[in-house]
Each structure stands twice: as structure tokens, then as C-alpha cells.
Chain A
């Protein structure tokens, strides 16, 4: 069993890399990073384990915060609350978890399993169920795989604890859990439906924590050396440079618990005279270049600060920012017809056929 301890430097890189994989959403990993710095200062350490090393009969706890990232800026995430969501699940199902895992590697939730793991002294599986960030509960590899959509625990820092014990579909998990979360004040720590080792091996998206750390390390190294950080990302990932430009307009509205809107860019450098527009629902969903769809979900659309190479989020992007847009390839599970039903452009209301920027 290969278990490796993460250094605090790995976690600093994870925060940078996960924010890029968040494709605009998932929330900024900065606050979870502050938590991890404090936990490491107190002597806690966290370990990473490969999915391949799990026993088929192991039980794995999948951890994520649910809610509005905006609220998370005021009601700060407490690592004990995340750990409590896991413990409530263990008590409810009467089983102990062998390891924890991220629901989504993108954004703040890429770091949160480690906050729980530090308290519970459990390893974290180097896998997740999105390979990026997505806004809804049915947009995961395990939902595409038709795995059981319950139970789910939702916990709050004031001691609220609820369990969605049974629902017929993943969309119902989303509906009931979302209402509980809203009543808590629009942020809840959740433990998602437990998975077996066999399920994680079959349906997990593997190596994503390692990937996020590698991306983050490349960006940070380039920053230190005053080299091009965007080129550094593309040196470690088989991505594609799509566009450079500056933000000329942002239309943003919070509706139905989501942040929806559109951003417009004017081209710079090689893209002078060419316009880009990106629609978002928490995450960047479809990028149009000169009004023709160029990149779309499940391809990862990443909007990066052209100078620092760090991710720009859909909630923070603003007029005048110089950005570089790149695409990264999606997990294969989302490229099947059933995968595209869950996360293709039509799942977000765009009546266009998926065409990958990495396609033939």
C-alpha cells in the first residue's frame, strides 16, 4: 500500500492547482489553505493513498462543502465541522471509513477532505468524482455510473446535523440537501453517499489530487523564476491555449442558488480584433469566439490571470483584467453518451452538440 504524506508545500500547490481545475467555480481554496496551515502548525499531517490500493470492501467517505461561496466568505469553514459530517455518516451507517475522498477536485473542495482527514487520522484517496468542479449533485462520475444516491449528511458549525437517508434519484439528493443547506444559512459541510473501494476503483477519477498539486507547483515555480506561468501549466498538462484578452463586460446574477452570467473579452496580442464571450453557471460552461461556440463542458475552460497564471473565478472576475483562456481535457467518463447527458451543454440548457477542442 503506497501511502505518502503531503508536505505543507504540496498543499500550497494543491490550493493553486485546484483553483485552476475549478474552471471558474468551486470557490477559492484560500480559506481551506489557511485551515491546513493552522492544522500543520498544530502538528497534524495528512496522507494520500492511491485508489488502486483500496480493498474492494473498504468504505470511503466523500467530503464537500455545499452552498453559496459568497456565504463562505463570512461563515468560515471550520475543519471540525467537516470531520463531524464524516463522523455522523459513520454513526448512521454503522461502518468505519478506511479513507476519505474529494467530491470535486476543483476549487476549495479539492482541499476540504484533508481538513477532515487531519482530525480523523484517515488517508485521502487520490481521486475525485468530477475531475474539476460542477454545480450540481448529479454531475459526478458516480451519478453517471448510476451508483446509489444516498445517504448524505449535512452538518453546520452550530451543531445542526441532518441526514438525507433515501431518495429515488441524484436530482432528489440535490433538491432535499440544497434546502437543508439553505435553511442552515446557505453553507453546510456534507459527507456524500458512501462508496466502496470497488466503486471508487471503477468510477472514481484517479490521480486528480496529484494532478492539481503538479499544476500548482508548475505555476508557483514559474512565478518564482519570473517565467510564463500559463506556459508552465501547459507544460505539465496536455491543454490548449484558446485566447488572450481583457475583460470588457461582466453580467452576473445570483439566481436559484447559482451564480449565472456572461463575461466578454476583447482580444490582445495574436487575438487582437477578435471577441470572446463565456457563459457561466458557477463554472465556465460555454466559450464563444466571434459568436461561434469554441469550447464547452465537459472540456475544462480555465480563465487564468495572464500575469500570475492563477485562476480567476466567476464570482471575482472584473472589468479590465488581463486573462488567458486555456482548455484542459475532461475525464473520459463524461464523454460517453450518458456522461454527456449529465454534464454536456444540453444539461446546462444550451442546445448545441458537444464538440471537444481536443477532437479530431
Chain B
């Protein structure tokens, strides 16, 4: 059994890399990082396990925080709460989990499995179900694979605990669990439908924790050496530089539990005189260059601070920021016809055919 130790230095890199893979959403990993620093100071350690090491009949927990990132700024993440969501799922299903994995590697939810793993002494599985961040429960590889959407456990720091035991579809899972979360106060720690080792090997998106750490490490090293951090990202990922500019307008509105809006840029350097506009629903969804769609979901659109190279989120982007827009290739599961039904531009209400920047 091959398990590798995750160092605190790895987690610092994970926080930076996961925020980039969040494509504007998923929430900043900063508070999760603070939790992990405290846990490591207390002597707890976490290990990483490749999904290939799982037995077919092992059970794996998939975890995430659900709710409004804004609320998460006030009701801070407690690492024991996500561990409790996993423990409750074990009590309810009477399975013992072999490992714990992220629902989404993008943003703060990349750290949640590490917090649960530290308390429960299980390895973190090096895989997720989005390869990025997405706003809704049906936007995962396991939903594309039509795996079972239930049960789900939902836990809160004050000891509120609920189980969504059965729903007919992933969209209904989204609806019922969202209402429970809202009644808790718009933030809940959740353990998603348990997956077998065979499920994870077939439908998981492998290697994404390692990938996020590598991106973060490349970026942090470039920062230390005062080199171009964006070039560093593109040296470890087969991405594509799309645009450099500055933010000239942001329209943002919180509707139906989502942060929707658009941001506009004026080009600088090679892009002087050319405009870009990006529409978002928590995450960056479609980027338009001079009125023509140039990049769209499921391709990862990453808006980075041109100086630090770190990600800029849809909730924090503001007038005057100098940014660089890059695209990273999506997990192949989302490029199938069924994958595009779940996460292509039409799933977000844009009547355009998906065209990859990597085509």
C-alpha cells in the first residue's frame, strides 16, 4: 500500500493551486489552510493515497462544505464538523470508509477532505469529481456517470444533523439538501453519496490533489524567485494564455443562492485595444473576446492576478485589477455528449455550442 505523507508545505501549495482550479468559485481556501496549520501544530498528519490502490469494494467518502461563501466568512469552518459529517455517514450506512476524497478540487473544498482525514485517521484519496469547481450537485463526474445520488449527510457546528436518504435525481438532491443548509444558516458540512473503490476508479477524476499542489508549488517558487508566476503555471499545466487586461467593470448580484454577473476588461500589452467580458455563476462560465465567445465551460477559465499569479475570485474581483486570463483543459468526462449536458454552456443558459480553446 503506497501512501505518501502530505507536508504542511504541500498544503500551503494546495491552497494556492486549488484556488486557481476553482475558476473563480469554490471559495477561498484560506480559512481551510488556517485550520490545517492548527491541526499540524497539534501533531496531526494526513496522507495521500492513489485511487488505483483502492479495492473495488472499499467505501470512499466524498466531502464538501455547502452554502454561501459569504456566510463562511462569519461562521468559520471547524475541522471537526466535516469529520462529523463523515462519521454520521458511517453510522447511517454502517460502511467504514477506506479513504476520504474531495467533491471538488477547486477552491476551499479541496482542503475539507484533509480536515476530516486528520481527525478520522484515514488517507485522502488523490481524486475528485469535478477537476475544478462547479456550483451545483449534478455537475459532477459521478452525476454524468449516473451513479446513485443518495444518501447525503449534512451537519452544522451547533450539532444539527440531517440525512437525505433518498431522492430520485441529482437535481432533487441539490434542492432538498440546499433547503436544509439554508435553514442551518446557509452553511453546512456535507458527506455526499458514498462511492465504492470501483466507482472512484471508473468515475473519479484522478490525481487532482497532486495537480493542485504542483500548480501551487510552481507558483510559489516563481514568486520567491521573482519570476513570472503565470509562465510557471503554464510550465506545469498544458494551459493556454488567453488575455491580459485590467478590470473596467463588475456587475455582481446574489440571486437564487448563487453569485451571478459579468466582468469586463480592457486589454493591455499584446491585447491593447481589445475587450474581454466574462459571465459568471459562482464560477467563470463564458469568456467573450470582442463580442465572440472564446472560452467556455467545461474548459477551465482562470482569472489570475498578473503580478502575484494567484487566483481572483468572482466574489472579490474589483475595478482596476490587472489580470491575466488563462484556460486549462477540462477532465475528459465532461467532453462527452452527456458530460456537456451537465456542464456545457447550455447547462448554464447560454445558447452556444461548446468549442474548446484546445481544439
A residues sitting closer than 8 Å to B (CB atoms) are 88, 92, 150, 153, 158-168, 172, 175-176, 179-180, 182-184
Neighbouring B residues of A166 by C-beta, 8 Å = 159-161
Pair A160/B176 contact, Cβ less than 8 Å: yes
Q: What's the Cα separation between A162 and B165 when bound, in Å?
A: 5
B180 interfacial by beta-carbon distance below 8 Å: yes
Question: In the bound complex, how far is the Cα of B172 from the Cα of A172, in angstroms?
Answer: 23
Give min CB distance, A190 to chain B, whole Å. 13
In the complex, the answer to whether A165 meets B162 with C-beta atoms within 8 Å is: yes
Least CB distance from B190 to A in Å reads: 13
The contact size tier of chain B is 20 to 34
Contact A176–B162 (Cβ < 8 Å):
yes
Contact A165 B92, CB 8 Å, known A160-B166, A176-B160: yes
Identify which of A158, A159, A172 contacts B160 (C-beta below 8 A).
Answer: A172
Instruction: Say yes or no for B163: interface residue by CB 8 A criterion.
Output: yes
Cβ contact within 8 Å between B159 and A159 = no
Contact call B162/A161, Cβ cutoff below 8 A: no
Chain A residues in 8 Å Cβ range of B168: 158-160
Bound form: Cα–Cα A162–B179 in Å = 12
How far, in whole Å, are A198 and B158 apart by their CA atoms in the complex?
30
Given contacts A163-B162, A165-B162, whether A183 and B88 have CB atoms under 8 Å apart is: no
Q: Is the CB of B183 within 8 A of A176?
A: yes
Supposing A165-B88, A165-B92 touch, asked if A160 and B163 sit within 8 A by C-beta, the answer is no
Task: Contact check, A168 vs B167: say whether CB atoms are below 8 A apart.
Answer: no
Bound CA span A161–B180, Å: 13
Docked complex: B113-152 residues within 8 A CB-CB of A: 150
Are B179 and A160 in contact, with the CB atoms below 8 A?
no
Q: Report B's interface with A, CB cutoff 8 A.
A: 88, 92, 150, 153, 158-168, 172, 175-176, 179-180, 182-184
Cα of A8 to Cα of B176 in the assembled complex, Å: 38
Q: Return chain B residues, CB-CB under 8 Å to A176.
A: 160, 162, 180, 183-184
Q: Which of A159, A172, A179 has the most CB of B within 10 A?
A: A179
A59 to B171 CA separation, bound complex (whole angstroms): 35
Q: Are A162 and B163 in contact (CB under 8 A)?
A: yes
Extra 19 A-B pairs, beta carbons < 8 Å, given A161-B165, A165-B162, A168-B160: A88-B166, A92-B92, A159-B168, A160-B168, A161-B164, A162-B165, A162-B176, A162-B180, A163-B162, A165-B88, A165-B92, A166-B159, A172-B160, A176-B160, A176-B184, A179-B182, A182-B179, A183-B176, A183-B179
Residues from chain B with a CB closer than 8 A to the CB of A180 are: 162, 176, 179-180
How far in angstroms is the closest Cβ of chain A from B215?
38
Q: Please give me the 8 A-B residue pairs with the lowest Cβ-Cβ distance, nearest first.
A: A161-B166, A166-B161, A163-B163, A161-B165, A165-B161, A183-B179, A179-B183, A179-B179
Of the A-B pairs whose beta carbons lie under 8 Å apart in the complex, a sample of 8, sorted by A's number, is A150-B161, A160-B172, A161-B167, A162-B163, A166-B159, A166-B161, A167-B160, A179-B179
Q: How far is the CB of A89 from chain B (nearest CB, A)?
A: 10
The residues of B that contact A168 with a CB separation of less than 8 Å are 158-160
Interface contact B163-A165, CB-CB below 8 Å: yes
Question: Nearest residue in A to B163 (C-beta to C-beta)?
Answer: A163
**Which residue of chain A has the shortest Cβ distance to B172 in the bound complex?**
A160
A-side contacts of B159, CB under 8 Å = 166-168
**Chain A residues, CB < 8 A from B176:** 160, 162, 180, 183-184
Q: Closest CB-CB distance, B158 to chain A, in whole Å?
A: 7
Does the CB pair B165–A88 fall under 8 Å? Answer: yes
B158 / chain A contacts, CB cutoff of 8 Å? 168
Q: How far is the CA of A162 from the CA of B166 in the complex (A)?
A: 7
B173 CB to nearest chain A CB (Å): 10
Q: How many Å lie between the Cα of A326 and that of B252 in the bound state?
A: 59
Task: Report which residue of A160, A162, A164, A168 has the largest number of chain B beta carbons within 10 angstroms of its beta carbon.
Answer: A162
Residue of B nearest to A153 (CB): B165
Given the complex of chains A and B, what is the CA–CA distance between A150 and B175 in angstroms?
23
Q: Which residue of chain B has the shortest Cβ distance to A84 in the bound complex?
A: B166
Contact A175 B172 (CB under 8 A): no
Determine the distance from Cα of A162 to Cα of B168 in the docked complex, in whole angstroms. 12
Contacts of A92 in B (CB 8 A): 92, 163, 165
Q: A165: shortest Cβ distance to chain B, in Å?
A: 4
Residues in B whose Cβ lies below 8 Å from that of A183: 175-176, 179
Q: How far, in whole Å, are A183 and B164 apart by their CA atoms in the complex?
A: 12
- Are A162 and B160 in contact, CB atoms less than 8 angstroms apart? no
Residues of B within 8 A of A164 (CB): 161-162
Contact A175 B167, beta carbon cutoff 8 Å: no
Which of A88, A165, A182 has the most chain B CB atoms closer than 10 A to its own CB?
A165
Roughly how many angstroms separate A153 CA and B162 CA in the complex, as a whole number? 10
A169 to chain B, nearest CB (A): 10
Compute how far the CA of A280 lies from the CA of B176 in the bound complex, rounded to whole angstroms.
31
State the CA gap A168–B165 with chains docked (Å).
21
Could you tell me the distance between the alpha carbons of A182 and B178 in the complex, rounded to whole angstroms? Answer: 12
Complex Cα–Cα for A102 and B307 (A): 67
